[in-house]
Chain A
Amino acid sequence: MKHSTRTIRDFWLLFTGPAIWWSLVLLVPYVIMLMISFYTRKFPFHVPDFQFGNYLKLIEDPQYYLVIFRSLKIAFLVGVTAFVISYPLAYCLARKIKSSRFRLLLYVATIIPLWVSYLLRAYTWKTILGSEGILNSFLMWTGIIQEPSTFFLYNQFAMVITMAYIFTPFMVMPVYASLEKIPPSLIEASKDLGAGRIKTFLKVTLPLSMPGVLAGFTFTFCLSAGDFISPALVGGPYSNMVANVVATQFGIAMNWPLGSALGMVLLFIVLAVITLSDRLERAGRINLA
C-alpha cells in the first residue's frame, strides 16, 4: 500500500477515535491490573508497591493453589464431557444425515441454546438437581428412591454437568466443521484397502477430526476455567473456582492485589491453553500434509 499523505490522513481520521477508546478501556485497565498485582494490601485498601508477595501467596497457601488445581480439573472434565456428548452428534450431522435441509436445521438447533440466557441455563440445573428438585421428585414419584438425595446438587459433579451443558455447542461446532472437511474419498480408500468401519473410524476419521476436537476443547476449557456464575449457583461451599476467588477478593475480602494476581494467573492459563492448542493444531496440519 502506498503511504501517500492522503492515506495517512484518512487512516487517522478513521482510527483516532477507536485508538483512544481501545487504549483507555482495554490496554490501560490490563496494565493497571498487572500493576495492582504487585501492590501491598494495607488496611483499608492497598498501597503502591513492587513485590511478588501476592504471587508467592498463591503458590504457598493451599487455599489458593488448590483452587487453581480444582479449576483446571473441572475445566478439563467439562471439556471431556462436552466431547463425549458432542462427537456422536457432530458425526451424525456430518456423515449420516443426507438431506441438507435437515442437516442445517439440526445444526441451527444445536447452536440455539447458546443464545438462550446463560444464567437461566445454569439456574434451570439448580431446579433440576436440588434436593427438592425435579430429578429427586421424579425419582421419588416413580419409587426408585424413598428419601430425597442431596447427592446431585452443590458438588463438583453438578458443576461439571452444568458447564458441560452450557458449553457443549462450542464443541459441536468445530468438531462438525472438521468432520465435514474430510474428503469422502479418503474414507472410501480406507474401505477399499480392506479396513472395516471401526478401523476406518479410528485410523482415518478420528485423527482427521482432531483439529476440531482440539478447538472445541480449547473453547470449553477456557470458558469453564474462567466461570464463576455456575460454580456459585450449583457448586456449593467447597467448589470455589479461580474466578470465584477473584470475585471474592475484589468484593467482600477487599484484597485487590491478591485478586489481581489471581486474575493474572487466570489470564496466563487461558492464553497458554490457546497458544498451546494453536501450536498443536499447526503441528498436526504439517503431519497430515
Chain B
Amino acid sequence: MMNSRTRRRRRIDLGNTALGIAAASAIGFLYGPIITLMVFSFNDNPITKLPLTGWTLDWYYKALTNSDLLAALWNSVIVAVAAVIICLVIGIPTAFALDRFDFRGKTLFRRLVILPITLPGIITGVSILAFFSMAGVKLSLVTVIIGHGTALTAIVVTNVFARLQRFDRRIEEASADIGARPWQTFVYITLPNIRSAIIGSALIAFTLSFDEIPVTYFLTGRDNTLPMYIWSVVRRGITPEINAIGTIIVALSIVLIFLSVLLIHSDGGTKKKMR
C-alpha cells in the first residue's frame, strides 16, 4: 500500500519534472537568441563565433557614428510619428463609427478594415505600390508613411473599439442630462475613458512602424528606414554593428511595450482581438 503510493507519487513528480523542463526550454528558446544578439554586441571579434574573446564597446561606437545608419534612424522616427498620427486621425473616428452607428455593409467594412493585419504585409505593400504606380505618384518617405498608416490603423481601430464596447454609455447620458454640451461630454467624459486605449495602441503602432519591412520594401524611394538599412546590411553578411544597434532597439522597444501594456490593461481593460 505504502509502496504503491510512493511509486505513484514518484511517477507524478517525474511527469511534472518533464513538463517543467519542457516549459523552461520553451522560455529558453524564446530568450536564447535575443540574449545571443545582445552578448555578441559586446564581443570584440568581428565574426560572431564562440568562444567570446573580449569585451568592447566599439560596435556601439561604430553604429552610433555611422551616418547612413543615423540617417535611416531619423527617417524611421519621422515615418513612425507620421504613421501614428494617421492611425489616430483615421482609427479613432472609424472605431466610433463602428461602435455607435449601424450602417449598410458594416460587417463587410469591419472585415475590410482589419485585412491589413490579417493578410501578409506583402499584399498591402504590392497593392498600394500598384495603386501609386497607376496614379503616377513617385515613391518617397511620404508613400512609406501612407503605407504604414494603412497597415497599422487597424491596431488603433480594434483597441479603441474594444474599449468603447465596454464603456458604459449611461455616463454620457448623465453628463448630457446635467447640461453638458456634446463637446464637453466628449472631452470630459468619453475621452478620459478611452485615453489609455488610444495611447497604448499608438505606442504599439509606433513600435510596429519602426520595425516594418514588408510594406516599406515596396513603397520606399531613395530614402531608407532603419529596418530597410539593417536589411540591406544583413543580406550581405554579418557584422556585430547590427548586434549593437539591435541591442539598443530591443531595449527601447521593451520599454515602449511595457508602457503600452500597462496603459491598455489599466482601467481593468483587456485587449480584445477582432480577428
A residues engaging B (CB < 8 A)? 1, 7, 11, 14-15, 17-18, 21-22, 24-30, 32-33, 36, 85-86, 88-89, 91-93, 96, 106, 108-110, 112-113, 115-121, 123-128, 130, 132-134, 136-138, 141, 165, 168-169, 172, 197, 222-223, 225-229, 232-233, 243, 246-247, 250, 256, 259-260, 263, 266-267, 270-271, 274
- For the residues of A in contact with B, the DSSP-based class is helix
Whether B22 contacts A89 by the Cβ 8 Å rule is yes
Residues of A within 8 A of B36 (CB): 124, 127-128, 134
Whether B22 contacts A25 by the Cβ 8 Å rule is no
Which residue, A36, A106, A223, has most C-beta atoms of chain B within 10 A?
A36
Residues of A within 8 A of B19 (CB): 88, 91-92, 96
Q: Considering the chains assembled together, what is the distance between the CA atoms of A232 and B236 in angstroms?
A: 11
Known: A267-B119, A270-B119. A113 touches B227 (CB 8 A): no
Chain B stretch 1-52: residues in CB contact (< 8 A) with chain A: 12, 15-16, 19-20, 22-23, 25-27, 29-31, 33-34, 36-37, 40, 47-51
- For the residues of B in contact with A, the DSSP-based class is helix
Whether B128 contacts A270 by the Cβ 8 Å rule is no
Which residue, B112, B113, B122, B210, has most C-beta atoms of chain A within 10 A?
B122
Whether A32 contacts B131 by the Cβ 8 Å rule is yes
Known: A17-B93, A115-B254. A123 touches B234 (CB 8 A): yes
CB of B129 to closest CB in A, whole Å: 7
Residues of A within 8 A of B97 (CB): 11, 14-15, 18
Whether B33 contacts A15 by the Cβ 8 Å rule is no
Q: Considering the chains assembled together, what is the distance between the CA atoms of A121 and B257 in angstroms?
A: 17
Q: Considering the chains assembled together, what is the distance between the CA atoms of A172 and B23 in angstroms?
A: 11
CB of B193 to closest CB in A, whole Å: 18
Does B274 have its Cβ within 8 Å of any Cβ on chain A?
A: no
Residues of B within 8 A of A229 (CB): 213-214, 231
CB of B162 to closest CB in A, whole Å: 15
Whether A92 contacts B20 by the Cβ 8 Å rule is yes
Whether B26 contacts A86 by the Cβ 8 Å rule is yes
Give 10 A-B pairs besides A22-B112, A92-B19, A121-B34 with Cβ atoms closer than 8 angstroms. Answer: A17-B93, A26-B115, A29-B127, A96-B20, A116-B254, A117-B250, A121-B33, A123-B242, A127-B48, A267-B123
Known: A29-B131, A88-B19, A89-B22. A112 touches B257 (CB 8 A): yes
Residues of B within 8 A of A165 (CB): 29-30, 33
Chain B residue at smallest Cβ distance from A224? B120
Whether B235 contacts A92 by the Cβ 8 Å rule is no
Does B94 have its Cβ within 8 Å of any Cβ on chain A?
A: yes
Q: Considering the chains assembled together, what is the distance between the CA atoms of A27 and B111 in angstroms?
A: 12
Whether A29 contacts B34 by the Cβ 8 Å rule is no
Does B183 have its Cβ within 8 Å of any Cβ on chain A?
A: no
CB of A194 to closest CB in B, whole Å: 14
Whether A226 contacts B20 by the Cβ 8 Å rule is no
Known: A15-B97, A32-B127, A108-B261. A233 touches B246 (CB 8 A): no
Whether B49 contacts A1 by the Cβ 8 Å rule is no
Chain B stretch 121-149: residues in CB contact (< 8 A) with chain A: 121-124, 126-131, 134, 146, 149
| 9 tightest Cβ-Cβ pairs between the two chains A and B | A226-B120, A88-B22, A137-B49, A29-B127, A92-B23, A89-B26, A29-B131, A33-B127, A115-B257
Whether A250 contacts B218 by the Cβ 8 Å rule is yes
Q: List 23 A-B contacts (CB under 8 A).
A: A14-B93, A14-B97, A15-B101, A22-B113, A32-B130, A33-B127, A86-B26, A88-B26, A92-B22, A106-B27, A110-B27, A112-B254, A113-B34, A117-B246, A123-B230, A123-B242, A227-B120, A228-B122, A229-B231, A243-B122, A263-B122, A267-B123, A270-B119
Residues of B within 8 A of A225 (CB): 120
Chain A residue at smallest Cβ distance from B20? A92
Whether A274 contacts B118 by the Cβ 8 Å rule is yes
Known: A33-B126, A124-B34, A126-B238. A115 touches B207 (CB 8 A): yes
Q: Considering the chains assembled together, what is the distance between the CA atoms of A91 and B21 in angstroms?
A: 12
Residues of A within 8 A of B15 (CB): 197
Q: Considering the chains assembled together, what is the distance between the CA atoms of A17 and B93 in angstroms?
A: 9
Residues of B within 8 A of A11 (CB): 97, 101, 103
Residues of B within 8 A of A246 (CB): 122, 126
Does B102 have its Cβ within 8 Å of any Cβ on chain A?
A: yes
Chain A residue at smallest Cβ distance from B149? A25
